[in-house]
Structure 1
Amino acid sequence: MSYLVDFKNVSTVGLESSPVAEALAGLRANEARYFMNKYKHEFAVVPASESKEALDYVNCILQEERKIEFAAKPLETSTFQVENIRFTYVFYEDGLALNVLYTLDGPKPKRAVGFKLSEGMDIPKELEEKKFKFAKMKSKLAGTIRGSFFVIKGEY
């Protein structure tokens, strides 16, 4: 069952088991606002239990590119395409929001995995061990977000 994320009335629906549910809901709403403003796309999520294909795709990229396997439980995913870009999101119980940006064509395709940490969560040990550096940004919906990324080298 999909859930359309409302960035005007932030809700923790689907994220209640997270110790940082409010911050994670704000982060999810922040992403929804971005896609509405930039692409006029409504951001919908589905429970991770209903999205094995999206999880397998993300886990494959993480494993192949950086040998990363998160211990945190995935709560929700979102997969969609706007213009020539496929996006896949995973929201984890610990407060991590992961996204895969993958352009499907073009002379210089952009392909990356992004990590955003909810306010109040520690850096996951899986990312700390790989020495990821995090930049901070402010959001009215999510407070202080810390983000990092890596470029995808392979084809997926």
Structure 2
Amino acid sequence: MKKICIALDYNPNSEKIAAIGHAYARALRAETILVHVISEAAFYAMEYEPFMGYDSPFHLNNLDMVKELEQGAENFLLAASLHLGTDGIKTQVLEGETSDAILSFCRENRVDLLVIGTHSHSVLENVLMGNTAVKIVRHTGIPLLVVPTKMEG
């Protein structure tokens, strides 16, 4: 194993996912890449007039908003890499539908192991919204480590 990709979102459980994934990378002496997906940042850049009595702030300076979303994600990944305390951790902000963006990145970068977390969503939430972990499990062609993040108690 040469490359391990760890997908993180803004959930506090990402700390556990990052730590476990990075422990595998260290043990295997593999390159670590942290990724975060911005779901369709371009959506925020759409120009539209106020509607239904709502004047969204997103239509003002919308290119700046996209840059702020990207910068926030980059800052998040940098903080995560510094928290792990090892030099040489790479980071990458991805854009698009979460599972597709992660899987495409892994294919294009010849990742050997993908580490993701799974949040404890109800069956109804999974049916209505889909579940990123489930989509990745169904469509990945590389080894996958799924870290359960359900709160114990």
TM-score normalised to the size of structure 2?
0.30
Q: Which has the larger radius of gyration?
A: 2
Which fold has the larger relative contact order, with Cα–Cα distance below 8 Å and residues 6 or more apart in sequence? 2
Higher strand share: 1
TM-score normalised to the size of structure 1?
0.30
Higher helix share: 2
